[in-house]
Amino acid sequence: MQFDVETVNSILEIDDAYKAPDKIMELISDKESRETLFKKFLSVSSDLSFDWFHQYFEDEQAQRKKMKQDFTPDSVARLLSRVVNVSFARVSKMNDDGTRTYFEPTAGTGGILISHWDYNRRNDALNFKGKNGDHQLPKWASILTYDPRRYWYQAEEMSDRAVPFLLFNMSIRGMNGVVIQCDALTRQTKDIWFIRNDTPDYERFSEIIKLPHTEVWAKEFNVSEWVTEFK
C-alpha cells in the first residue's frame, strides 16, 4: 500500500493518525498550502483512479460504533460505477445545459465517486455519443474531449473525520461540484463547500470555497437547519 499510515502521517507532518482530519482541513483551506500538499502526495503516486485513503481511513479513522462506517472495496466501487454509467447511457438524458450530474448521499471519503469520475474521464460519455447513442470516437479520444466543467458531483457526508478526505479527493482531481456535510435524512447541515475547476483541464486542482450559512444556499441544497452538531 503506497499511502500507509507512516507515509500519510509523514506528508502531513503529524505524529498520530487521529490528527489527520484536522490537519488536512487546515491545509486545504488555503490555496498555497493546499497545492503544496497535493504535490507532495502526487510525488508518491500519480494514479488518481482510486481512493488513496481507503485503507488508511478504514484502519485509523472509521467510526464503526457511532456511525456504522465501513467502506466499499475498490473492486465493488468500479463495478458500481460501470453499472451506473451503462444504465445512464441507455435510459437517461443529459441535463438541459449539456452537463451530467452525479449524486451520492453517503460519500465517505469518496471511493465510489472517484471510480465514477475515473470512468467519466476515460470514456467521456458526454462527448462520445452520436445521435443514436453509439460511440462515434475511439476511447483514447477522451483525453482530448473530456472537460471537467461538464460534469457536476454532489457528495454528502455526515462525518467530521471523513469530510476533509472527501474535499481533498475532489479537489486534487479537478472536479466541479459540492460537498455538503449533512444528515441526509433530516437535512440538518453543518457546512457546504463549492469545489470549482473553471478550466477545461482535469489536471488542474479545484478551488475549495466554503459557502455562507444563508437562506439562499439553504434553499438551493434543501437545508432544513444549520447546526454545529447533529442531534
pLDDT in tens, 57-94: 776 655 444 445 455 555 555 565 555 554 444 333 45
Label the pairing between strands 225-226 and 100-104: unpaired
C-beta separation of 47 from 90 below 8 A:
no
The residue with cell 461538464 is 150
Query: Whole-prediction pTM value?
Result: 0.83
pLDDT tens per residue, range 34-59: 999 999 999 999 999 999 998 787 76
pLDDT tens per residue, range 168-219: 999 999 999 999 999 999 999 999 999 999 999 989 999 999 999 999 999 9
Rounded to an integer, what distance in angstroms lies between the CA atom of residue 187 and that of residue 225?
7
Q: Is 41 exposed, middle or buried (0-12, 13-18, 19+ CB in 10 A)?
A: buried
Residues paired with residue 182 on neighbouring β-strands, in sequence order: 189
Closest listed residue to residue 101, CA positions, set 84, 83, 76 = 84
Q: Which helix (H) or strand (E) holds 156?
A: strand 151-157
